[in-house]
Structure 1
Amino acid sequence: MLKAIPDLISEVKQKLRCVDAKTAAAERSINGGVLIDVREPAEHLAFPAPGAINIPRGLLEMKMLELEKDASKAIYLHCATSARAALAAEQLTRVGYENVTVITCKVEDIKAAVDSLSYGEQ
């Protein structure tokens, strides 16, 4: 039986750790986690989140194994709506990453959270 994408995303998210942008930014400032943007390169270039590494969802498993070999490293995934990030997180957990988090807000909110944290440290 085919599943509608919103149903699939909802099902996948139930098994994943999901946080908002402020929580992710605060945690990353402590744990040094990796922020991955799973959108397509053109989307990333048009509106990048500060500090994000762009690895499109279709290449993520292969590229992450090159980028991060520590299975326990904190990894934060984002996209435009958190749908692709959720599917990407599911794949990374299948590969063996143990500390994967989905940021469940828009890129604008991620940028604002990172910017506010940066300004707060000055």
Structure 2
Amino acid sequence: MNTTPTLKAPEQLVSEAKGDVLTCTPREAVARIRQDDPIAIVDVRGSAEYAEAHLDTALNIPRGLLEWKIIGALPEATAPILIHCGTGGRAVLSARSLMAMGYTNVAAIDGSFSEITECMAENQALTRTEFTE
């Protein structure tokens, strides 16, 4: 009998995590940003991606360092947190990790970085001067 373990693809992990966490579209995220004051926006993209273009209001904690750095940056378990990345996958996995750590008000933005910035510009949630490129 062969008992070779079955490996899961990253896409499968993301799909499973979406069932465990709260997600929102970029448009829903903009509405939440407008309602919640304050709200932490955590960018889990890598440092190079963040340096290329980012939201001024976002805190950059790369996915690989999230569990080690988040408590120092956001020590309140009930703090409202929106997480984003380049395409949505890392954000969902990050939200799952934060929930496992005890954070209770976390949502992953299920959309690309360009969709988020376009939606924010369209809805005037942030002025164009608040984007850094």
Instruction: Give yes or no for TM over 0.5.
Output: yes
Matched residues in 1 for 2:95 and 2:60: separation?
Answer: 15
1:29: how far off? 2.1
Partner of residue 74 from structure 2, selected from 52, 55, 68:
68
Residue identity opposite 1:23 in structure 2: E
- Equivalent residues in 2 for 1:84-95 (5 A)? 84-95=90-101
Counterparts of 1:41 and 1:69, CA distance in 2: 22
* Residues 14-34 of structure 1 deviation map (CA, whole Å, 9 limit, x = unaligned): 111111112112212221210
Secondary structure, counterpart of 1:118 in structure 2: coil
Whether the 8 Å CA contact 1:38–1:85 is kept in 2: the answer is: yes
Aligned length: 119
Structure 2: segments with no counterpart, 5+ residues? 1-5, 128-133
Whole-Å separation in 1 of the counterparts to 2:19 and 2:13: 10
The answer for unaligned runs of 5 or more in structure 1 is none
Task: Measure, in 2, the Cα distance between the counterparts of 1:70 and 1:4.
Answer: 33
What is the TM-score when the length of structure 1 is the normalising length? Answer: 0.90
Query: Identity of aligned pairs, percent?
Result: 34
Structure 2: distance between partners of 1:84 and 1:46: 18
Q: Which moved further from structure 2: 79-88 or 25-34?
A: 25-34
CA distance in 2, matches of 1:64, 1:3: 27
2:33–2:125 CA contact under 8 A, matched in 1: no
1:9 corresponds in structure 2 to 14
Could you give the per-residue CA deviations for residues 7-57 of structure 1, whole angstroms, max 9, x where no partner exists?
111011111111111211221222121001101010011121341111101
Task: Give the 3-state SS of the residue equivalent to 2:54 in structure 1.
Answer: coil
Partner-residue secondary structure (3-state), 2:126 = helix
The root-mean-square deviation of aligned C-alpha atoms, in Å, is 1.3
User: What SS is found at the alignment partner of 1:117?
Assistant: coil
- Of structures 1 and 2, the larger Rg is shown by 2
Provide the rounded CA distance (Å) in 1 between the counterparts of 2:94 and 2:79.
16
Q: How does 1:96-115 map to 2 (within 5 A)?
A: 96-115=102-121
Counterpart contact for 1:50–1:114, Cα < 8 Å: no
